[in-house]
Chain A
Amino acid sequence: MFDALSDRLEGILGRLRSRGRLSDADVDEALREIRTALLEADVDVGVARSLVDGIRARVVGEELSKSLSPGQQVVKAVHDELIEVLGGETLRLTYASAPPTVILLAGLQGSGKTTTAAKLARWFRQQGRNPLLVGADLQRPAAVEQLRILGDQAGVPVFSEPSDPVAVAAGGVREAQRLGRDVLIVDTAGRLAIDEALMDEVRRVSDAVAPRYTFLVIDAMTGQDAVATARAFHDALALDGVILTKLDGDARGGAALSVKNVVGRPIAFASTGERLADFDLFHPDRMASRILGMGDVLTLIEQAEREFDHDIATEGATRLLEGRFTLEDFLSQLQQVKKLGSLGGLLSLMPGVPKEVKENANIDDGQVAQVEAIIRSMTPRERGEPGVIDGSRRSRIARGSGTTTQEVNQLLRQFKEAQQMMRNPGMLGGMLGGGVKGKLAQAVAERMGEGNADPSSLESLGAGGLGGAGLGGGRSVGGLGPPGGAKGRPGSKKKKGGRVTPKGSGGRAGR
């Protein structure tokens, strides 16, 4: 998402970072480019202007810190300003004392309300709630049918009846009370903010169910219209927040920046993929980091925390540390990781991974399935000791997995190299301490409420850029090289990333 914006900003800020001092002209030029970058990301014209003004005030104003270079100062100003515009705090949901807690979803056609309703239902289920979905979109053909299918996938019942939206919504409340459901999610038909009849209808739906939260569902690819839409819906329904969808595309997301600023309501949730699991609370601070190319480790950690089986994860991590990581472990960990979403999505959350790698990686779930198939076609012994795999075993594995012996060979060879690399004692140290991973460790530390100093986070920001630059060349496919020293290899990028950066040990110290 935000890639185009973060690229632009990285380019601009990269130049500033290296400067010892900034002239007014430098600042002006940077601000102009920042404005263009924001506009190209579909940030509202007015919001972009106020954002740039805010950054200027921070840069030339009082908020100077002696420990930062002028370039870093601009970076910090942009970062702080972005957080502010994105909406400060993450939403903390509270529940109605008399259930059900009603959530009303509204928005334009095609913004993703129905899918979002199901994702939200799944999310509430994960929070230990018992949601009920209400299909009050009687306009679009088969919308209720769609909701029923998705509700089924989320394991959440769906209520609807072919009457009128207001009656359906009111009936939903009664149904929730009857079934003892404590959260009610009402999906409504898509409507234009200027369609008075329909806006009046959604207002009546709202009156009928008295929602605790009314969310506007907005497409992240929306252009300048986002603000007008948000404002109109806010006027009609008194929004409590916005849900941003389709954030898994490229670029854009400027809508996210604009909406809070204009209607004073934050982005509550964001949807980042087609799977029901690709949905979570929106974290403005993390998004700001993401825009600035700092990765989004916190989201990764939280996802891991939620989805991982802790015993398996600990087991795998221990074996990894001890250098006893086998194909069997790889397979079981892969299953864990797959719970977090697509591997490509995970990659994009990782800090310091050069954009080219992210783009060219194109991790195809089919390819992953192939890798799995190969490992699954091995006997337990073969997974533990790949050394025993001879020619005939190899062709058996290839047959069993529907691949060729070359592909089996390739997998074995690459795994062996990776294994050797993992045995290298320096690697894990580098991983936990190095710049890129240092950020990880630091992020963890911050999250635990310890160590959260501005200068160090800025340093790691700088380090991230450096790390990225140092690793950008690492794309020679399947190249062979001495294990452990393979800076140019794609597989090594994250592990070695730390070494390239100067502030390698900062992260560890954070803990």
Chain B
Amino acid sequence: MLALWIVLAVVVVTLVVGLVVVVPRRGRRRRSLQSPGGDTATIERPPARPSEPRVPPPVAEPRTLLEAQEPELEAEVEPEAEPEPEPELAPAPELRERLGKTRGLFSGYVRALRSRSSVDDQAWDDLEEALLRADVGVATTTALLEDLRSRVHDGELRGAEAVVAALREDLRRSLDTEAGTSLSHDGEGTCVWLFVGVNGVGKTTTIGKVARREKAAGRSVLLAAGDTFRAAAAEQLDQWARRTGVDIVRGAEGGDPSAVVFDAVQRAQARGNDLVLADTAGRLHTKVNLVEELKKIRRVADRPPGHVAEVLLVLDATTGQNGLTQARQFLDAVGVTGVVLTKLDGSAKGGIVVAIQRDLGLPVKLVGLGEGPDDLVPFDPDEFVAALFD
């Protein structure tokens, strides 16, 4: 019970803080007159109000609200939800076109570099800055450039053009995996894909889009609204379910997410669904309890008849170096199998995926390019790199 010590210590220290604050409080008004500005704004604050609303009180009430939306509901709600089996979502031109709006910084550096005849210090600095600005990260950038430098030194590469081409090839190679971008449906029993990630990266939206894709591919999909924490998260997923015409299993807000996933698997088994897409509440990878909860969800989902075929880390493309930490922690905790890079249509470059793939071997499998229901496409390393350079 290390905790007690810490709790005690925290209580005691806070008490002393309280003491220090409370005792001289009487004399303070006098003193504040001669206080030299600074942030003394709080002195005038009204005394503490003890009854404050706390956020997370909805404690696990017994989940009763298990409901499945009947598919016939949706067709009329959202005409575009018709499962028009679109065979391909035409990813290749889209990625470049979408990124085309915003890239420029990186390609600007590269263009400037190409126009140089020799690779001088300034050129190396520019290249470094370009990579850093794309969120590739210091360590990865240094490693990439060190390698290029030595190749230039050895005479293998001559001129700026060759260096840029080599860098491009290096980046592309480090994003290429044998596993590729295919998503697994293998295994015994009901296939479960689990979506994990920190808050606000777009897990729920991604699930909605994946559901649409998978349905278009002829699979029968069931959504599990495993985000029981965030207000109205289940409602949000529910709307996606209606839009795409798939079933959903919901639990009570504040209920146990593992139970929701368990019920979803059971239901999928009973109804013969091929695939369960399990949403989870956004959680920072630093919150040990929440990560433990996630491990439990995974264990429960993996219990027969369920079978976890994919654990997808949803990552916001605007994320910086913290993305690598996130990936590492989630990989350790729940065995992430791939990354979904969302919001790549913004001005971000998503360079952190280079580090993630290099350091952790985690492939990017899907890319989110916008808010439309079809704006989720398989990741293509060639396109990604091309979009950075051209």
Is B132 on the interface with A (CB-CB < 8 A)?
yes
Residues A304 and B54 in contact, CB atoms below 8 Å apart: no
Segment of B63-71, B133-141, B149-157, B211-219 in the binding face: B133-141
Is B35 on the interface with A (CB-CB < 8 A)?
yes
Is A136 on the interface with B (CB-CB < 8 A)?
no
Residues B352 and A223 in contact, CB atoms below 8 Å apart: yes
Residues A146 and B101 in contact, CB atoms below 8 Å apart: no
Is A153 on the interface with B (CB-CB < 8 A)?
yes
Is B239 on the interface with A (CB-CB < 8 A)?
yes
How close is B237's CB to chain A, nearest CB, in angstroms?
Answer: 8
C-beta contact mask, A434-451 vs B, less than 8 Å → 1, else 0? 000100110010111110
Task: Kindly list chain A residues whose C-beta atoms are within 8 Å of the C-beta of B76.
Answer: none
How close is B329's CB to chain A, nearest CB, in angstroms?
Answer: 9
Segment of A55-63, A166-174, A356-364 in the binding face: A356-364
Q: Provide the bound-state CA to CA distance between A309 and B56, in Å.
A: 22
How close is B236's CB to chain A, nearest CB, in angstroms?
Answer: 4
* Chain A interface mostly: helix
**Chain A, 305-354, CB within 8 A of any chain B CB:** 305-310, 313-314, 316-317, 320-321, 330, 333-334, 336-337, 339-340, 343, 346-347, 350
Question: Which size bracket describes the interface of B in this complex?
Answer: 35 or more
Residues B41 and A109 in contact, CB atoms below 8 Å apart: no
Residues A142 and B9 in contact, CB atoms below 8 Å apart: no
C-beta contact mask, A447-476 vs B, less than 8 Å → 1, else 0? 111101000000000000000000000010
Task: Kindly list chain B residues whose C-beta atoms are within 8 Å of the C-beta of A92.
Answer: 41
- Given A225-B348, A274-B55, A334-B7: A339 and B14 within 8 A (CB)? no
Residues B231 and A495 in contact, CB atoms below 8 Å apart: no
Residues B48 and A308 in contact, CB atoms below 8 Å apart: yes
Task: Kindly list chain B residues whose C-beta atoms are within 8 Å of the C-beta of A122.
Answer: 52-53
Is B184 on the interface with A (CB-CB < 8 A)?
no
Most chain B CB within a 10 A radius of its CB, from A225, A232, A371? A225
Residues B41 and A309 in contact, CB atoms below 8 Å apart: no
Is A20 on the interface with B (CB-CB < 8 A)?
no
Task: Kindly list chain B residues whose C-beta atoms are within 8 Å of the C-beta of A360.
Answer: 2
Specify the chain A residue showing the minimal Cβ separation from B197. A110
Residues A478 and B2 in contact, CB atoms below 8 Å apart: yes
Task: Kindly list chain B residues whose C-beta atoms are within 8 Å of the C-beta of A343.
Answer: 6-7, 10
Residues B11 and A333 in contact, CB atoms below 8 Å apart: yes
Total A-B pairs, Cβ < 8 A: 347
Specify the chain B residue showing the minimal Cβ separation from A490. B5
Task: Kindly list chain A residues whose C-beta atoms are within 8 Å of the C-beta of B139.
Answer: 40
Is A228 on the interface with B (CB-CB < 8 A)?
yes
Is B17 on the interface with A (CB-CB < 8 A)?
yes
Residues B135 and A494 in contact, CB atoms below 8 Å apart: no
Q: Provide the bound-state CA to CA distance between A432 and B217, in Å.
A: 68
Residues A154 and B53 in contact, CB atoms below 8 Å apart: yes
Binding site for B on A (CB under 8 A): 36, 39-42, 45, 89-90, 92, 108-112, 122, 126, 128, 139-143, 145-150, 153-155, 192-194, 219, 221-226, 228-229, 232, 246, 248-252, 254-255, 274-277, 283, 285, 297-298, 300-302, 304-310, 313-314, 316-317, 320-321, 330, 333-334, 336-337, 339-340, 343, 346-347, 350, 357, 360-368, 371, 407, 410-411, 414-415, 418, 422, 428, 431-432, 437, 440-441, 444, 446-450, 452, 475, 477-478, 489-495, 511
Can you list 10 A-B pairs, Cβ within 8 angstroms, ordered by A? A40-B137, A89-B39, A108-B318, A109-B200, A149-B231, A192-B345, A246-B198, A334-B7, A368-B3, A475-B2
Q: Top 4 A-B pairs ranked by shortest CB distance?
A: A223-B320, A449-B35, A491-B5, A110-B200
4 extra interface residue pairs, beta carbon distance < 8 Å, beyond A223-B321, A225-B348, A495-B9: A110-B200, A221-B198, A314-B23, A367-B4
